[in-house]
Each structure stands twice: as C-alpha cells, then as structure tokens.
Amino acid sequence: MKPTTLSERGYLTNNRVRQKTEINYKFVLVLAKIVQLLLIIGFIIGTLGILVACTYFTVNLFGFQEFYYLKGIYISLLKYYAITGVILPTLLIVIAFLTIRIIDTQ
C-alpha cells in the first residue's frame, strides 16, 4: 500500500531512518564489545610476553642456564600484543567514530 499523503510519506521515511539508526548503533555496540575483548586478550598476551622477557633477561643474574628459545617466544608474544592490544582496538574505535559520524549526518 503506497502512502497517499505527505504526512504518511514523512512518517514512513522517519521510520526507515530510525530503523537504520538503530541498526547502526547496534553495530557500534558490537564493535565496543569486540574492542573490550581484544583489549583483554591483548593484556593477557602482553603480560605473558613481559614475563617471558623478564625471565629471559634475569636468568643470567641468578646463574641459571640460558634458554635461547625464550627470545623468539617473547618477541612473537609482544608482536601479537601489539596487534591485538593496540592496532585492532584502535582501528575498531576509529570505525565506530566514523559510523557515529555517518549516523549523525543522516
């Protein structure tokens, strides 16, 4: 059924805009949850990387045998921390801000 009056047309347009806005805000909320999850995972990976790095560098102080494989482990852990704890959350926050900006201009 097609709208016949201007008020009906305006009402339908407003409903469509409202639905799009609600969908976009839900998208932003999902992005926020993903950012929270990535920050938690990044914090865990970063903590493990720092602990392994501290172990690698303090082994010689106490006279224990040096574990050369720990160097590769802590370097890769800190790289993963940089990706999951810093880069991805930053990109998702930027995407969320751009989405909100687009919502506000509609």
Identify the three-state secondary structure at position 25: helix
Alpha carbon distance 104, 20 (integer Å)? 11
For the chain, what is the largest distance between any 2 Cα atoms, rounded to a whole number of angstroms?
A: 88
Residue closest to 56 by CA, chosen among 84, 85, 77, 40:
77
- Condensed to tens digits (0 to 9), the pLDDT of residues 4-44 reads 554 555 555 566 666 666 766 788 888 889 999 999 999 99
Identify the three-state secondary structure at position 101: helix
Lowest mean per-residue pLDDT among 2-6, 78-82, 91-95: 2-6
Whether pLDDT at 102 is above 80: no
Alpha carbon distance 18, 79 (integer Å)? 42
Identify the three-state secondary structure at position 44: helix
pLDDT, residue 44, reads: 93
What is the distance between the terminal CA atoms of the chain, rounded to a whole angstrom?
26
